[in-house]
A = this chain, B = another copy of it.
Amino acid sequence: MENNILSKIIALDKTIHEPVRIAILTLLMVVEKADFIYLKSNLQITQGNLSSHLCKLETAGYVEIEKTFKGKRPLTLIKVTEEGEKNFKDYLLTIKSFIKQSGI
């Protein structure tokens, strides 16, 4: 038992453990779907940066990306998958128990 929390920290899911992706997943947990522009304006990052992070999350199977149109303009909708949700919650629980043990 004992300092097992440090091995859990070291084994943290790298797909999630990236600030921008933590923020993306946090937003996606509270809405059923979000569009690209909504995420971009909430996160205040460049479109290219958002695009590549979404690709990473999609490749990992953590989000689903649906390309549609609003009128004649492209509209990209993003939602978290069950797997993404589960792994994100696990991630949060590990962080939480780490914080608890840190005594902060």
Binding site for B on A (CB under 8 A): 3, 6-7, 9-12, 17, 19-20, 22-23, 26-27, 29, 42-45, 89, 92-93, 95-96, 98-99, 102, 104
9 contacts between A and B (CB under 8 A): A6-B27, A6-B42, A10-B20, A12-B19, A17-B17, A17-B19, A29-B102, A89-B104, A96-B104
Do most interface residues of chain A lie in helix, strand or loop, or is the interface mixed? Answer: helix
Closest residue of B by beta carbon distance from A17: B19
Query: How far apart are the CA atoms of A17 and B17 in the complex, in Å?
Result: 9
Asked whether, in the complex, the Cβ of B9 is within 8 Å of the Cβ of A22, the reply is yes
| Set B6, B43, B92, B99: member contacting A10, Cβ < 8 A | B43
Q: Which residues of B have CB within 8 Å of A95?
A: 95, 99
Q: Which residues of B have CB within 8 Å of A104?
A: 89, 92-93, 96
